[in-house]
Amino acid sequence: DNHVHITAQEYDECWQSELHAAADAGVTNVVAVAETCSDARKLLQYSRQYQKEWQSTSLRLHVCVGLHPWQAQHDELDDVMELLAAHRSAIVGVGEIGLDYMPKTLQFNAAETKKVQEYCFKTQLAFAHANNLPVNVHSSSAGHYALDMLAQCQVSEGVLHAFDGKTKYAEQAHHMGFKLSVPACVVRSPSLQKMVKRLPLDALLLETDSPALGPNKGELNHVANVLQSAETIAQLHGVSVQHVQAVTSATAACLWTPGECQGLG
């Protein structure tokens, strides 16, 4: 699962059991993302605790640290950048970062909101580029704008999570070297299904975005539901679920843990 919010309040009392249930379902790796500085500190704490207490489990927890565009503020960015620098060796990527141009996000002072989002995104992309780290990108209603900024900042490795842009921009992202992760809500999303069918299998990754974007609208999503993403991709591509798991796991491993390049899915 390439995009999980394991520090979400929905999991405060059960984050370990959530990961345990995913492991029981066959999930072997989870890439967890942060949205704020406090969120990132919590995630790093979870990671340390998980490594100490759960060494016998078959599931590995990987950490991305970043400032989500919903939380974009200069002071918060400064704190996140300090945390990124201090914990560079503990993270596999920078995220969740990006742009969000949905009307509800821009309803108050749209121009200033965009300006701050873009500054925060560029600053974090510069860190990713300087440290040779992939990015975990949010781009709601801002797909081609995010792609333009990624190109400007010379970042060419990462994942566009739950991409909601036009299929032609998804194809552009693939040609630029990015992967597109497919959430479990693909089971009920014709637009996502169209994108999945148009892209080659090696352009796709699996995700849940837990606790959001589950297979059933309005219900709490779970990491184990990443298997529903794999099943839907398999149906759309006319291949076995096992083949989808093997390809996406190998792709994800080369993105997040290039020194290992084993399965990660």
Q: Is 196 in contact with 207 (CB distance < 8 Å)?
A: no
Q: Is 64 in contact with 136 (CB distance < 8 Å)?
A: yes
Sheet holding 29-32, edge to edge: 29-32, 60-65, 93-98, 135-138, 158-161, 179-182, 204-206
Which structure tokens are listed for 100?
A: 């969000």
pTM of the model as a whole: 0.95
pLDDT (tens, 9 = 90+) of the chain, 265 residues, equals: 999 999 999 999 999 999 999 999 999 999 999 999 999 999 999 999 998 876 667 899 999 999 999 999 999 999 999 999 999 999 999 999 999 999 999 999 999 999 999 999 999 999 999 999 999 999 999 999 999 999 999 999 999 999 999 999 999 999 999 999 999 999 999 999 999 999 999 999 999 999 999 999 999 999 999 999 999 999 999 999 999 999 999 999 999 998 876 545 5
Strand partners, 95: 136
